[in-house]
Chain A
Amino acid sequence: MPHVNFLLSLVLVFLGSASCSDANFRERFELGPARILGLIFSHPEINPGQSTSIQPIFSFENQTSETLEHRLRSCADPGLVFGVNPTCENSTDINLMVDWTAFSFTSPNVKSEILGPLGNVTATADFLISSSEAEKTNGKIILVEYSVRINGTTVLNSFGKVRVTDPTLKPVKNQNPSLTNILLNSQSLASRPTALKNDLAATFDPTSLDTGEEFLASYFISRGEVEYSRTLGEQSTEWELTQTDLEATETITVIVVGRDERGGVTALVRTGL
């Protein structure tokens, strides 16, 4: 009865992960190397025949002279539920929106931003024609794959899922949550912190969430450390800086990415602090 052992070992993994960490690893909240922090779909859930546009959240605080190229494509779900890699590589119905095109940030001083809409994904009118009731309700997936290539070699891969549901069975579609502000010590974050220990929090519009959904905020900073890189709902996290951090002349970037529990993504980026 191996599932028993699996469950027991799961508990131990949880316990282990709660009590152990490897200090040599880069922390999840650290900005610096090139990272894709999220894909924002204008509409995370659509009806057949409708479209959604895509905006990647990209950060590369350590960028100097590296050249950047990106690619955006979509395809029908290749079988994610069965463990297939989330890529359109072997698909026959690829919608190539951007094909390894060079790009840069909007300003030389900006190293983290939400890139402008790069393309649209459209569900065909007959997209759900052979789907089961459950799939029409829960959503049939269109895979969106976004990749960034650095200096023509290193590739970062990311993916998101656009959910296509039946307009009758699922008349109210999921929307992106609304992230209203980033608070530093209960004040709107407008300048870099001056204290060694600070309270960082995200505010959101609870009406932008469906019943039962929770708002999950992920924090990314270019200096210092946050105690928790994610918070739930109204929770806050401690942002700790060293004296060196406070005295440094480089600007600081803070990004908060908000998510609901059904594919909705939103973000606020504060740079030049």
Chain B
Amino acid sequence: MFIDSFLKTNLLCVVFCFTALFQSQIGRSQEIDPLLQITLKGRVYEKGTSKPLSGLKVFLLPIKKSTETDTNGFFSLDLDSSEVQSLKTEGSATWVANFPGYRRYELKEAWDSLNQGRERIFRLEKEIYGAVLETTVTDRNKSRDPTRKSLSQREFLQIPGSGGDPVKAAQNLPGVNRAPGFSSFVVIQGSEPEDTLYNIEGHEIPLIFHAGGFYSVGFPEAVEGVDILTAGYAANSGRALGGHLNLRFRDLDTTERFRGVGYVDLLNSGILVESKAGQNGAFLLAGRQSYIGFVLKAVLPENDAFDLTVAPSFQDLLGIYEYKFSNDLKFRLLGIYSNDIVEFLFERPLEVDPSVRGDFRTQTQFYRIIPALNYRINDSTDFTFSTALGEDEIEFRGNTNRFILDIKALTTRGEITKTWSGSQKSRAGFDNRYSGTDFDIALTGSQSGGNSNSSDIITIGGYSEQREIGIYLTHEANLSSLSIEPSVRFDTFRPSDENYVSPRGTLRYSWDSLNKSRLSGGQYYQPPLPQETSPEFGNPNLKSSKAKSFALGHEIDFREGSSFGWVLDNEVFYKWLYNLSTETTDSTRYVNNGLGNSTGWQISLKHKTSVIDVGLNYTYSVSRRWEQSATEKFPSAFDQTHNLGILGGIEISGNWRFSTRFRYVTGNPYTPIVGSFYNSETDTYLPINGARFSQRLKGFSQLDFRVDKRVLFDTWTLSFYLDLQNVLNSKNQEQINYSYDYSQSAAITGLPVIGTLGVKGEF
């Protein structure tokens, strides 16, 4: 710009100076005139998010000169005099930027503009905008469990029928049973709901779903991925016969931009902001507020017997702070808070049970503060440590009943990884859990498990502690195509005074670049639930349930390093369950008398191109239970013989995405009611159960459909989505409903066709 104006204002002087300078250069260079050298600068962003694109090649045509962007997206291109002259003669130049995953960018710039010395901004449009806030996975989760099935943020945000929720989406993974509508648990491979542990960053939390099972507790755009560990999982996890579900929150964006997302849909809304903090830090804050209750209040029929005093609602808050002391030492602090509340009044006795009347209130809230440290001690040694400090408050009040728990929870995890050589690696770690519970319980006899007089109130209060220590050691030996990973875990459970050693292990074999097999298995223990060992309601002498689990899997990955192509994974699993807790009809209440097994085959087939992704998940399983003294076996509550899920999505021009999901699942078994006893004292009927789980609900089938439309602006995006569930309006049986005296029955069907419309803005 300076040269240009100078030329115009004082041409003679320029000519004089230029001639003098030219003469002084004779003898050193005859071709290059330094006065004609210019430097072109610019910055490249992702369109719609302002994410700087680093390592991107920028070309200038027709002179065919190129440069590359730095970590903040900046680039500069030096042009010598001949190139300047060439462009000047040409009158214009064309910028071209090409980057995998982005549409080709071209911009024609006139010479006058080029020569103005300004910084130019290029915004490249992504080919697929799956998850705007998705960040690159770093090294926080290096060890991959042999049984782990995962969904990334991009995947779970787009699965139809899941409303963008990671845990609801994870219920589509192979080996995960379909949970009934409105349920708030995850069942793995025919286990019981209480056999799955829910974790955030590896630390247990009391519940994963908000009430009703519509949304899980983690803000979806902050979640990097959701993992399910199934039969045969590794020694760094324990205390669950079924498996684990873990939410991993993503690494924060440490570039200089300020990012955010806000959304509104029919049932809830939320906001997330994220920014760099100081030179080496970054933070994220997010929160959600539901208004499900107001919708419910609006649709509930007028009823002077029922008053929804406090409409059901949930809130959750999330905060993450990251600080990088050095490339080897990183600190991360995560805080999460979740609250669910509902309050209502039955002004008249409920038809099914007159003891149900009066005020009812339930509130469940918990928080966890999780500081974590990742330290690379040296090239061969890594250390990670994290602890979760928190509190769970669970309150239920109903008429004369109350159930109030205040649980102080502390979990700690640590692991040191030593790489002995390129083929030998060891890990040693601990996984401890402590909880101290203040409890205040008043339950009528009928609510406390039996048929006793409803006026007999059992009241207990006090304090109890549970201490569980887990220590594990694993070694990984890579012998050419074979990898052997023996491991052992030591667990101690208090107050049940149990100490266990659990040998586990994994074998992996690579047949060739496409084919890989794996075999994993071991011994598993699960401590009894607190209520099962309560002196008042359970059996203090009850011990842990136990299992031996094995899984044999084979993966064929046709992608060969690419993002696109076919992947086929199939696995057979077997679980032998013993020492299971079963209820008795005498004063012992619970004994370790149960036996069971789960056997199955699960297959996952995925195919992905730049515009289409399809997937098929199928699980065949048989899950049986019986008691030691009995010869007759019965299905487990979630014995679902066939579980099929088909997913498909297509991206079309204009940033439209259409996706669909179809599911078919064998109906759950249930115990029929074959008669009843009339209870004269309470004016209710007690059912007489038939053979346990001897009948099944009809098979479940559902087709879901989702449309996403993204409108891109330079620095932000606006998305609209319509998520339609059960578009065929299938009348799926969810449970059997009985008349007041159990003489008549009819199936309760699930939700009819239901749609969620939402809008989301991201920058």
A and B: partners? yes
User: Residue A181 at the B interface, CB < 8 A?
Assistant: no
**Nearest CB of A to B187, in Å:** 11
Measured as residues with beta carbon below 8 angstroms from the partner, the interface class of chain B is 35 or more
User: Residue B340 at the A interface, CB < 8 A?
Assistant: yes
Also in contact, A82 and B348, with CB within 8 A (given A9-B183, A157-B678, A158-B678)? no
Q: In the complex the two chains form, is A158's CB within 8 Å of B211's CB?
A: no
Q: In the complex the two chains form, is A81's CB within 8 Å of B449's CB?
A: yes
Residue B351 contacts which of A24, A26, A28 (CB distance < 8 angstroms)?
Answer: A28
Q: In the complex the two chains form, is A259's CB within 8 Å of B681's CB?
A: yes
**Nearest CB of A to B134, in Å:** 31
Interface residues of B in 346-368 (CB under 8 A from A): 346, 348-352, 354, 356-357, 360, 362, 364
Residue B680 contacts which of A39, A156, A235, A261 (CB distance < 8 angstroms)?
Answer: A39
Q: In the complex the two chains form, is B681's CB within 8 Å of A160's CB?
A: yes
Q: In the complex the two chains form, is B349's CB within 8 Å of A216's CB?
A: yes
* Binary A-proximity of B662-694 (CB < 8 A = 1, otherwise 0): 000000000000011111111100101000000
Interface residues of A in 1-23 (CB under 8 A from B): 1-5, 7-12, 14-15, 17-22
**CB closest residue in chain B, given A260:** B455
Q: In the complex the two chains form, is B452's CB within 8 Å of A80's CB?
A: yes
Given the complex, which residues of B lie within 8 Å of A163, measured CB to CB? Answer: 453
Residue A85 contacts which of B312, B453, B529, B688 (CB distance < 8 angstroms)?
Answer: B688
**Nearest CB of A to B194, in Å:** 4
Given the complex, which residues of B lie within 8 Å of A17, measured CB to CB? Answer: 350-352
**CB closest residue in chain A, given B740:** A28
Cα distance A158–B445 in the bound complex, in angstroms: 19
Cα distance A84–B686 in the bound complex, in angstroms: 11
How many residues does chain A have at the interface if contact means C-beta atoms less than 8 Å apart?
61
Selected interface stretch from A64-72, A102-110, A225-233, A241-249: A225-233
Q: In the complex the two chains form, is B453's CB within 8 Å of A161's CB?
A: yes
Given the complex, which residues of B lie within 8 Å of A235, measured CB to CB? Answer: 348
* Binary B-proximity of A118-131 (CB < 8 A = 1, otherwise 0): 00000000000000
User: Residue B653 at the A interface, CB < 8 A?
Assistant: no
User: Residue A200 at the B interface, CB < 8 A?
Assistant: no
Cα distance A58–B541 in the bound complex, in angstroms: 46
Given the complex, which residues of B lie within 8 Å of A2, measured CB to CB? Answer: 185, 193-194, 529
Given the complex, which residues of B lie within 8 Å of A15, measured CB to CB? Answer: 296, 300, 312, 344
User: Residue B303 at the A interface, CB < 8 A?
Assistant: yes
Residue B211 contacts which of A12, A25, A161 (CB distance < 8 angstroms)?
Answer: A12
Given the complex, which residues of B lie within 8 Å of A48, measured CB to CB? Answer: none
* Binary A-proximity of B555-593 (CB < 8 A = 1, otherwise 0): 000000000000000000000000000011111010000
Q: In the complex the two chains form, is A257's CB within 8 Å of B683's CB?
A: yes
Given the complex, which residues of B lie within 8 Å of A26, measured CB to CB? Answer: 739-740, 743-744
Q: In the complex the two chains form, is A218's CB within 8 Å of B737's CB?
A: no
Residue B450 contacts which of A24, A81, A263 (CB distance < 8 angstroms)?
Answer: A81
**Nearest CB of A to B13, in Å:** 84
Q: When A and B form their complex, which 8 residue pairs have the shortest distance between CB atoms, in order from nearest?
A: A81-B450, A158-B678, A25-B739, A39-B680, A160-B680, A81-B452, A1-B206, A80-B451
Apart from A3-B405, A83-B451, A157-B675, list 4 A-B contacts with CB within 8 A: A5-B185, A7-B403, A259-B683, A262-B453
Which residues does A use to contact B, with CB under 8 Å? 1-5, 7-12, 14-15, 17-22, 24-28, 35-36, 38-39, 79-87, 138-139, 141, 156-161, 163, 216, 218, 228-232, 235, 257, 259, 261-263, 265
